[in-house]
Amino acid sequence: MYNITAYLTIKNKTYYAVLTYYVDGIRKMKWVSTGFKENESKKKAEKKLIQIRDEFINKLETITQTKTEDKKVQISFSDFMIKWLDMIKHQIEESTYTGYKRQIEGRTKEYFTNNPVMLEDLKPVHILDFYNWLYSQGLKGTTVTKYHANIRKALDYAVQTDLIPSNPAIKVGRPHQEQFIADYYNEDELNTLFQVVKDTPLELIVYLTSFYGLRRSEVLGIRWSAIDFENKTITINHKVVTVTNENEDIETKTTMITKSKTKNKSSYRTLPLFKEIEELLLYTRKMQEYYMSIFKDSYNKKYKDYVCLDELGNLRNPDYVSHKFKQILRNNDLREIRFHDLRHSCRNITCKERNIFKGNTRLAWSFKFKNY
């Protein structure tokens, strides 16, 4: 049994569980976020600390107990990948975990269940055969590269824990990635789009995405508290994403979560509040107040600080936005692009000037869009 010492510490105003343990006489340390902020209940963080420690002990023992006396691993590669996924669950973002889970429990498990190989017997040729199978399924090189990255990281862990002597994925070349060419709208197409989305649930969402080049999760995460109508700025510091629902008692496979965190540090930015956007925001706020007054107790006040809500105060679902966007394009005979590609169309909104916001030293764009 592993002797693991665990204690709480604060990092970036969040309680972290720090786990220290020894593997073959070598001291190792792991940091895991409890998810609780510094100003929240410390007792809850302490309870989470115990849970994280116990889960880590169980996972570490489960993944290493498959060794025989001569140190040979008796575990299939498919099972190992699933165990590795469980190991990293508390170390990565929920949305990232959802993507990994979809890969590993999907095509990776399907292929290596039909073509079983033990972890200790895994060779570069097995991995290459898997990639060729992915290509035959219609996947592009960019997607296959994501599978490659996860397999390599998982096998790095297997090497670190002495499950295998070396990483066979290192000998496999990185899959070729197609050059990304954004399929965005030109100015005329944008003007037409603005006209057809008028008075639809996507009007404000389309404007925010087109003017600022925001990601879908960033647009849905905009809150009223992040908008400064006096100084004419809007701050991007929050997001709404969809993750896999781990509760087996719940019928829905996915759920939405809100996070006070963007994709990376550069994603946190303060931008100018354009007149067109300000007018739409003010109208949206009046409509939310109206819906709140007529639906009363049926209105969901949990998300009242969020901008992109439906008539009952619920968060707009990311998948709804993408599906509705595609539907609008088809119904109006517009050239079909992904909603994600719409953010690249901001380059076709004429750039008037670039300013550096004092205090943030972040580039902010000020656009001048032609009359529409």
Map out the domains of the chain as residue ranges.
Answer: 1-65, 67-180, 187-367
Average pLDDT (184-194) is 89
- The confidence score (pLDDT) of residue 233 equals 95
Looking at the structure, give the CATH architecture of the domain made up of residues 67-180: Orthogonal Bundle (1.10)
Across residues 267-281, what is the average pLDDT?
90
* pTM of this prediction exceeds 0.85: no
pLDDT at 286 exceeding the cut of 60: yes
Please name the amino acid found at residue 325.
Answer: F
Q: What is the pLDDT of residue 196?
A: 94
Cα atoms found within 13 Å of the Cα of residue 351, Cβ hemisphere only = 12
**Of 204, 188, 187, nearest to 324 (Cα)?**
204
What's the pLDDT at 367?
34
349 confidence band (pLDDT: 50, 70, 90): low
- For residue 180, the model assigns a pLDDT of 60
- Burial (CB count within 10 angstroms: exposed 0-12, middle 13-18, buried 19+), residue 129: middle
Mean pLDDT of the chain: 83
* Angle of helix 203-212 versus helix 275-295 axis, rounded to 10: 150
| Side-chain-side CA neighbours of residue 16 (13 Å) | 13
- Do the domains 187-367 and 67-180 match in fold? no
Give the pLDDT confidence score for residue 66 in this predicted structure: 53
> Please, what is the angle between helix 77-88 and helix 42-64, to 10°?
160
Cα–Cα dist 106/113, whole Å: 11
A 10 A CB-CB count for 57 gives 17
Q: Is the pLDDT of residue 71 over 60?
A: no
β 239-244/233-236 pair status: unpaired
- Identify the band that residue 24 occupies on the pLDDT scale cut at 50, 70 and 90: low
| CA distances from residue 188 to 15, 66, 321 in whole angstroms, order as listed | 50, 62, 22
**What pLDDT is stored for residue 281 in this prediction?**
96
Instruction: Kindly report the CATH class assigned to 187-367.
Output: mainly alpha
More confident residue, 163 or 25: 163
Summarised one tens digit per residue, pLDDT across range 128-161 is 999 999 999 999 898 999 999 999 999 999 999 8
In this prediction, residues 321-330 reach a mean pLDDT of 95
Q: How confident is the model at residue 125 (pLDDT cuts 50, 70, 90)?
A: very high
Amino acid at 272: P
Cβ proximity of 237 and 264 under 8 Å? no
